[in-house]
Structure 1
Amino acid sequence: MCIINMESNTPSDISSAPNSQQENDGLVNDRNTHSTNNEENADEGSSHFQKKKRPKTSPVWANFTEVKMPDGTMKAQCRFCKGRLAIISSSSTSHLKRHLKTCGPKAAHDLKQQKITLQAVDSGCNQEKHSVAHWILMHEHPFTIVEEEGFNMMQKRGMLEWENVSRVSIKKDCEKVFEIEKNKLKNLLKSISKISVTKDMWKSTNQKIEYMVLTGHFVDSNWQLQKHVLSFIHLPPPHRGLEIADNLYKCFKDWGIENKVFTISVDNASNNDSAVRILSETFSRVKKLPCGGKLFHVRCCAHILNLMVQDGLSRISYIIEDIHETVTFINQNEGRLNLFSEIVQQLQLPHRKLILECKTRWNSTYQMLSAAIKFKEVFPMNKEREPHYLCCPSNDDWLKVEKVCEILEVFDSVTNIISGSEYPTSNLFLNEIFRVKVLLDKKFEDSNEDEFVHDMVKCMKLKFDKYWGDCNLMMSIGAILDPRCKMRVIEFCFPRMYPENEACENIDKVKKALYELYKEYVDEYYSSSGEGNGESVGLRGNNVTIQASSSGWSEFAQFVRTVENIQPQKFDLDNYLEESCYICEEDPIPFDVLQWWRSNSLKYRILSHMARDILAIPITTVASKATFSASSRVIDTYRASLTTKTVEVLLCGGDWCRSLYERKATNGDQSSHSMIICKNDIDA
């Protein structure tokens, strides 16, 4: 009926509807094609009616792209790790979702996005207050800054609807940020298997209150070294080992890491030793500590070096006092500084700077002495022209200062290296302590050195032997896991650090501890993955695991070993030690040991897990800016006036916010000394 009507249309009707005619012509052609489909145009007809691809509707496809393989099959390629997975014909995407949950690069991408995204807020003004709270915590500003007229004027210029807030209100906002960031960090700690912690003490001089700060160190899934302050709590007296251990365990429980603590680094004090022993016994009842607990207690290396340096400086304390008074005298007024500058210019000395020490930081004392030596000819001439200058060091004094500075130069370099917090230090420990040992032995055995040097070095050697006389397993294993060193560093250092018989015993002790620790990681690896023991690994191929208990493979493998004398499969530790050391083509100092292990993690599947935990162990308990300090860490006057809970919010929250935005801590004491510049240098 429809066809008859179309044929009866007038020409004008036909011309006015060409599209309809073309569509009908196409319909007729299609019908004709179908009528001859079984005879000669089967292939052409089938291609003409090829079925359309069904669009991908699952959200998971936003993370994958389809790629065509050389054999013609289609694969789903992850946008993050570039891994390729099969595309199941049933349109199932469960395996793709499972991949995203374990994809390391995607987790890093999500974490980065989370870092730059603030929490959802109700309005623009609330969002701005949230940002201000982050700013206060990150840069350690007082709460009262929000009540300053200039601050509110600046805020209203940028946001007309900004409403002034009080110090009480912004304090509550900071507490909210503290809770949000604490929950984020808790979730992050759930994903790690082991964490090393450091314990340090801070005090408030105004209130006579002492605080215990607990810091966690670990290497994340992207092989980045992470350091986060976990707790900053008031520690009421008495500060005995039992009370310290009890408070530490409460912090571990609060963070859910009581079964993940790998090592704990503390200062060298009897109450700390007692606390670590109590914790070790407590943990041993619940779980087996790595290597039988031999690595659990880590003594702060910077603290030991401080003790040794103080012994050396005490020998010339009267000279240090004279030099300190000399620098103070010259800088007391403009006339004295001008006179000193004139003498420097007359002698045509290239040096222009004097340094005044901070008495609680021995590195600034070293810098003061090393700077003053360059002007030792100037001071006697200054004394002749200044009748009130009475503290000029003698020539014999300068000789002693030069001897001390030769030793302090090595201690200063070593302390700077081992106190870093942005790179692993456990692998550097042995090499740096070896430098100190060689220096002290050389000075002590040198017959040309005077009695003053012998006595000073003797005291320093006693301290060295007290804390590092016995073989330190942790620093040895850490050095071995540096691919530049391996066992070669033990074979090189130990014969020069210990007597011959002790050196051989210590090398064997280190090897035994290394394999003991590695075996624990092997057992943990196979128990967690459900892959059985080491023998079953050799029977695995093409992603198929053959169970020895349900087949004849176990007996057959034993038969093959007997007949062909095949050795059991090597562990990756054996392969690692047998390969040659990694040679740095460039400067070895910036070598990134974590990135090396990341690149070789597939090659050393189990050993890389062990290296990740060992390299995260810190060998100092304090921040780098405090490693040279001979005194306790002190809370500033502003924070000392706050409640203990608020202090924790500021200290912990500030650390977390700086980590969130990848910013370093602001150091109010960046320069540990005062610098005095001669006048002629200023005029130039």
Structure 2
Amino acid sequence: MTMASSNTPIPVDDRFNEYESALKRQKSTTSKVWDEMTKLDCENKNELKAQCNHCKTIFSAKSSSGTSHLRHHLNRCLKKFDADECRQAISTFLVCGKHSFRTVEEPGFRYMMRIVSPNFKNISRHTAARDVLMYYAKERDHVKEELARASGLICLTSDNWNSEHTNDEYICITAHWVDKDWNLQKRIIRFRALFPPYDGLNIADELVLCLSQWVIDKKNFSITLDNASYNDVMVSCLKNYFRANRAILCDGAFFQIRCCAHILNLIIKAGLELANDVVGIRRKRFYDATDKSFHLNVTKKLRQDVCERWNSTYLMLESSLYYKDVLDYWGQRDKDYQMFSLSNEEWRNIAILCKFLKVFYDVTCIFSGSNYPKGNLYFKGVRKVHKVLLDTVKGPYSFLTPMVKQMQEKFNKYWAEYSLILSCAAILDPHYKLNYVQYYFKTIYGIHASDFVETILSNLRLLFDEYVKKSKSTSSSLAESSNVSDKNPVDSGLDEHNVNSANFGGYFDESDDYKWYLDESSTRTEKSQLDIYLEEPELELNSQIDVLDYWSKSLVRYNELSLLARDLLAIPISNVASESAFSMDKKVITPLKSSLTPKTVQAVVCLDDWMRAKGFSTTNYYSHFIVKLVAKRTIRTMRTIRMMFLRLLFRIFPF
């Protein structure tokens, strides 16, 4: 038989065999709809179901029915899904970027959305505002669930602010807590315009209403406030409310925390009022000389002094010292500037003052943080300020003495007695414990240090006893409910007969009473968790062990003490978390956006805070959704092209 007459094809390796086999395998694969659908298990094995991964609709998935109906549904569903994601992305873009709702009506924005998602329909500014409110309501429910899951107590910060464009008085309330994974959390739960009068009673009502709406009025530990006069009245009203509802710890003795950053600001401003002759530097145009003659980085600009913020003075001095040579050079050549040029002694005084203020600046930065526990850092920060004031007033720099004395008066007014509750938090830091507090009190108060330490320790024991009682009451209530449910039903007549016929002079097992006495005696002599913790050596100061991580791993060993430490370390020692919302709000309530309703303002401010808590920054959130949408569109387009290409190959090369 010749080769021409043979019906058997001769295999020829033309270096494409591996691709041919891949195409054959591709031909036998299942439908692509299963990338977007999930097969469900059914009781009847002959009946198959499929669920859409996006809208969760369930369809029949019998092999005899094919997949056309699933494909048609996916085409409709994915278009709607893309549109919903676009609307959510636009809401987040407007909120996180502080953009006006009119942005969605701009031609450039609509052109961009048409390129990104051709199926997206343009929306008006009114629709965009409504989307933001709906998005807020959705996310609010998620935050409520987070607060409900919080096993510990919740700490609050609050601050007030007046909008210069609308003249509305706003209150911002922020909740702080440690979640089940022992991570510190922070959420703005209220940003609302107040109704006059703006007094302590009205603000207390607003706080109670807020806590009731968020269902956390039974879980409060403390509230951190500034030194505004109306706050004392407000705190008094809150204490009475919580006492009536038995929802306050230690009768409210540790309920109010005064904002440490605000007190520090008052202390420093009192001193800087006497330092105007030292900090009188004027900014001039000299950046060309800086770059060409001294080759310095001109992106580090000279800072202007802002009277409302003392740290601007420190930043101004710091940048002036960086540009010292340039300023001297400019003063020798510019006649207008010569009257402002400084002598070598004045530059020396500025350097000394800058070094002095840096201590306060660093402490302020630590107190103002919100992503880490700060209660344990309070004592160290205040002690550092106290020590530098004592050392400076006795030091050789006489020009600082009047300023430091003014600062000492303010310090003694607010911090003559260290906050007991926050000093307790320092003891519960395993890096410090009691020895740390004892040492620093001794450096300040000498032989009288023991009195201060004993006061702090007695208050810590008082707090610990509260948590022990709470733990025992919880355990006993659980045990009682268990006994009631397990108790066998008995005949009422038999039970009455037993009570009436009880013989109190008859047999009594004395051994049970003796065992109870021994148990009570051992309990009285047994060391508490707090005593055991204090007797153990401290961790090394440079140890990288996080304080919350330490207590989360000690939960079994120090049950009640760990719960106390969790709530103490959640206390914010400044209300910067609430105050910073006002800095952001100045971008929300601009002259062009002053017509926004207070309800919309609250939705925008809270949403921005909640999105940041999820890890989305102002700059990347919108791009995240854009990339996601473009990627989805690209994937579907590539799938279509790929299927068309495979079909074309099969027509050209029938296998």
TM tier, smaller: 0.7 to 0.9
Structure 2 distance, partners of 1:350, 1:658, is 32
Which residue is equivalent to 1:422?
371
Shift of 1:57: 11
**Does the Cα contact within 8 Å between 2:290 and 2:298 map onto a contact in 1?**
no
Which residue is equivalent to 1:131?
89
Which residue is equivalent to 1:608?
562
| 1:304-323 superposed matches below 5 A | 304-320=263-279, 322-323=280-281
Cα 1:558–1:161 change in 2 (3 A) is same
**Does the Cα contact within 8 Å between 1:361 and 1:628 map onto a contact in 2?**
no
Structure 2 distance, partners of 1:152, 1:550, is 88
Which residue is equivalent to 1:493?
440
**Does the Cα contact within 8 Å between 1:178 and 1:649 map onto a contact in 2?**
yes
Instruction: After superposing the two structures, state which structure 1 stretch, 435-444 or 267-276, moved more.
Output: 267-276
Which residue is equivalent to 1:70?
none
Which residue is equivalent to 2:535?
578
Which residue is equivalent to 2:318?
370
Counterpart check, 1:391 vs 2:333: no
| 1:28-67 superposed matches below 5 A | none
Structure 2 distance, partners of 1:468, 1:461, is 10
**Does the Cα contact within 8 Å between 1:232 and 1:652 map onto a contact in 2?**
yes
SS at match of 2:327: helix
| 1:667-682 superposed matches below 5 A | none
CA-to-aligned-CA distance 1:113-167 (integer Å, 9 cap, x gap) = xxxxxx9996432332133223332333322222222222222223221100111
Structure 1 unaligned segments of length 5 or more: list them: 1-55, 59-118, 331-335, 534-548, 668-684
Structure 1 distance, partners of 2:510, 2:167, is 71
Structure 2 distance, partners of 1:139, 1:662, is 15
Structure 1 distance, partners of 2:440, 2:582, is 26
Instruction: After superposing the two structures, state which structure 1 stretch, 230-239 or 261-270, moved more.
Output: 230-239
Which residue is equivalent to 2:12?
none
| 1:349-498 superposed matches below 5 A | 353-357=300-304, 359=306, 360-389=308-337, 390-446=339-395, 448-450=396-398, 452-498=399-445
Cα 1:550–1:246 change in 2 (3 A) is farther
Which residue is equivalent to 2:452?
506
Question: In the alignment, residue 612 of structure 2 is paired with which amino acid?
Answer: R
Question: In the alignment, residue 570 of structure 2 is paired with which amino acid?
Answer: A
**What is the TM-score normalised by the length of structure 2?**
0.72
CA-to-aligned-CA distance 1:269-309 (integer Å, 9 cap, x gap) = 21112211221122122216223322101000111111112
Structure 2 distance, partners of 1:551, 1:128, is 77
Shift of 1:376: 3.8
CA-to-aligned-CA distance 1:360-385 (integer Å, 9 cap, x gap) = 44333212212323444543442332
Counterpart check, 1:160 vs 2:118: yes
Structure 1 distance, partners of 2:143, 2:300, is 46
Aligned residues between the structures: 515
Which residue is equivalent to 1:662?
615
Shift of 1:641: 3.8
**Does the Cα contact within 8 Å between 1:358 and 1:364 map onto a contact in 2?**
yes
CA-to-aligned-CA distance 1:477-522 (integer Å, 9 cap, x gap) = 1101101111112211222344633x32221211111111111111
Counterpart check, 1:338 vs 2:288: yes
Cα 1:646–1:600 change in 2 (3 A) is same
Shift of 1:343: 5.7
**Does the Cα contact within 8 Å between 1:143 and 1:171 map onto a contact in 2?**
yes
Structure 2 unaligned segments of length 5 or more: list them: 1-40, 44-76, 480-507, 621-655
SS at match of 1:421: coil
SS at match of 2:375: coil
Shift of 1:578: 1.3
Counterpart check, 1:526 vs 2:472: yes
Structure 2 distance, partners of 1:251, 1:459, is 40
**Does the Cα contact within 8 Å between 1:294 and 1:473 map onto a contact in 2?**
no
Which residue is equivalent to 1:598?
552
Structure 2 distance, partners of 1:341, 1:633, is 35
Aligned partner of 2:167 among 182, 185, 208? 208
Structure 2 distance, partners of 1:579, 1:636, is 54
Which residue is equivalent to 1:287?
246
| 1:6-25 superposed matches below 5 A | none
**Does the Cα contact within 8 Å between 1:206 and 1:641 map onto a contact in 2?**
no
Structure 2 distance, partners of 1:505, 1:120, is 71
Structure 1 distance, partners of 2:443, 2:528, is 31
Cα 1:138–1:381 change in 2 (3 A) is closer
Cα 1:558–1:308 change in 2 (3 A) is same
Question: In the alignment, residue 534 of structure 2 is paired with which amino acid?
Answer: L
Which residue is equivalent to 1:183?
141
Question: In the alignment, residue 208 of structure 2 is paired with which amino acid?
Answer: Y
Cα 1:197–1:554 change in 2 (3 A) is farther
**Does the Cα contact within 8 Å between 1:217 and 1:618 map onto a contact in 2?**
yes
Which residue is equivalent to 2:61?
none
Which residue is equivalent to 1:300?
259
Cα RMSD (Å): 3.3
Structure 1 distance, partners of 2:186, 2:389, is 33
Structure 2 distance, partners of 1:551, 1:142, is 81
Identical columns (%): 33
Question: In the alignment, residue 481 of structure 1 is paired with which amino acid?
Answer: L
**Does the Cα contact within 8 Å between 1:196 and 1:618 map onto a contact in 2?**
yes
**What is the TM-score normalised by the length of structure 1?**
0.69
Structure 1 distance, partners of 2:456, 2:78, is 53
Which residue is equivalent to 1:620?
574
Structure 2 distance, partners of 1:197, 1:120, is 43
Cα 1:121–1:582 change in 2 (3 A) is farther
Cα 1:665–1:230 change in 2 (3 A) is farther
SS at match of 2:335: coil
**Does the Cα contact within 8 Å between 2:374 and 2:569 map onto a contact in 1?**
yes
Question: In the alignment, residue 357 of structure 2 is paired with which amino acid?
Answer: L
Cα 1:162–1:308 change in 2 (3 A) is same
Which residue is equivalent to 2:221?
262
SS at match of 2:385: helix
